[in-house]
Amino acid sequence: MQEYDLDDDMAVAEQTEQEPQASAHAEVEAEIEVEARAQALTEEQNAEQSQAPAEEDSQEEPAAEPEPVGYEMVKKIIEGAILAADEPLTIKQIRHLFARGAMPEKDEVEAALEDLQQDYNERGIELKQVASGYRFQVAQDLAPWIGKLWQEKPARYTRATLETLVLIAYRQPVTRAEIEDVRGVAVSSQIIRSLMERGWVRIVGHRDVPGRPGLYATTKDFLDYFNLKGLKDLPTLEELRDLDEMARELEDQAEQAQDVAVQQALDDAQGASDDEVQFEEVATDVSHNIEAEVEAEVEVEVENK
């Protein structure tokens, strides 16, 4: 009689049960993977559809081009901009006031500036080109009247200061020692400091010698103050000599006129009174008045020259 093995029957039963479970798990995982792929494909299609209308809209509605500005309007814009600006404006700055598509050419801006200069030629203000650009300013021949609006008189510089400034302007870049060699005397530190504080002079480098002294040169503020476009517009040395001779002639005439006036004052004072105090006061007053008038005439003649 054959023996019945219970353990073998149980093992066979367990194997039979595990096989359907494994196949079921495999089917579920396959379904999950298919669903994930389908969802990813759907999202890609939706993203493409959402981008397509935006691209079509951008192609259908291009940005509007700015309309070109007429020449007369260009002149008005330039006139208003220069009048409103705190500093002189360059041609480049003027052109950048306009939109890129409507920006006038450089030649057109230059032509408008020339026309504006002609428009203001016979008026109380003028359009002046200086080193920093274009600016509006009071006509120079109106200075005797317009200057009365300000109580303070313009600063007067010593001869040493002016000589130092002239040497820097004509021989730049120049060191302090080179200035002293030409003038024959030492240059005060206060002179250099005052010119730098005024914004007329700056250090542009150093001479490659022992001690590496600073090299001085003029600035755009210096050119702007004296209504110069560049260093090439400085008066020639011959013109400076002519001005110097004219100033000496005026000084000689002033001395002669002063001697005559003083003598006349002396005669009048002696005839009117023997009081020496009154005599000295009259002579001093006349001398001061004549000196003031002569200085004013010299300044006017130099400015006109």
Kindly report, residue by residue over 97-147, the tens digit of the pLDDT.
998 888 899 999 999 999 999 999 889 999 999 989 999 999 988 888 888
pLDDT grade, residue 8 (50/70/90)?
low
d(CA 119, CA 142): 18
**How does DSSP classify residue 201?**
E
Q: Tell me which of 90 and 226 has the higher pLDDT.
A: 90
pLDDT grade, residue 1 (50/70/90)?
very low
Summarize pLDDT for 170-180 with one digit per residue, the tens: 888 999 999 99
Region 170-191 average pLDDT: 89
Region 11-19 average pLDDT: 51
What pLDDT does residue 175 have?
A: 93
CATH classification code of 71-145: 1.10.10.10
Share of the chain above pLDDT 70, in %: 55
d(CA 229, CA 134): 10
130-139, 149-158, 230-239, 293-302: which is most confident:
130-139
pLDDT grade, residue 158 (50/70/90)?
confident
Region 74-95 average pLDDT: 93
Q: Is the separation of the CB atoms in 77 and 97 below 8 Å?
A: yes
pLDDT at residue 161 tops 60: yes
**How does DSSP classify residue 16?**
H
Average pLDDT along the chain: 75
What pLDDT does residue 227 have?
A: 86
Residue 24: both structure tokens together: 């079921």
13-17, 126-130, 158-162: which is most confident:
126-130
Q: Tell me which of 79 and 238 has the higher pLDDT.
A: 79
- SS3 percent helix, strand, coil of the chain, rounded to 5, is 65, 10, 25
What pLDDT does residue 192 have?
A: 92
Q: Tell me which of 280 and 93 has the higher pLDDT.
A: 93
Region 32-36 average pLDDT: 67
Q: Is the separation of the CB atoms in 139 and 120 below 8 Å?
A: no
pLDDT grade, residue 69 (50/70/90)?
confident
Q: CA-CA distances (angstroms) from residue 223 to 128, 217, 234?
A: 12, 12, 9
- Cis check: omega of the bond before 235, within 30 degrees of 0: no
Q: How far is CA 200 from the centre of its chain?
A: 14
- Which residue in this structure is represented by tokens 């079921």? 24
Region 70-98 average pLDDT: 93
Helical (H) or strand (E) element with 66: none
Indicate the domain borders of the chain: 23-53, 71-145, 159-233, 237-304
CATH classification code of 159-233: 1.10.10.10
What pLDDT does residue 273 have?
A: 47
- 159-233 has the same fold as 71-145: yes
pLDDT at residue 300 tops 90: no
**How many C-beta atoms surround the C-beta of residue 124 within 10 A?**
11
Nearest alpha carbon to residue 73 among 102, 48, 44? 102
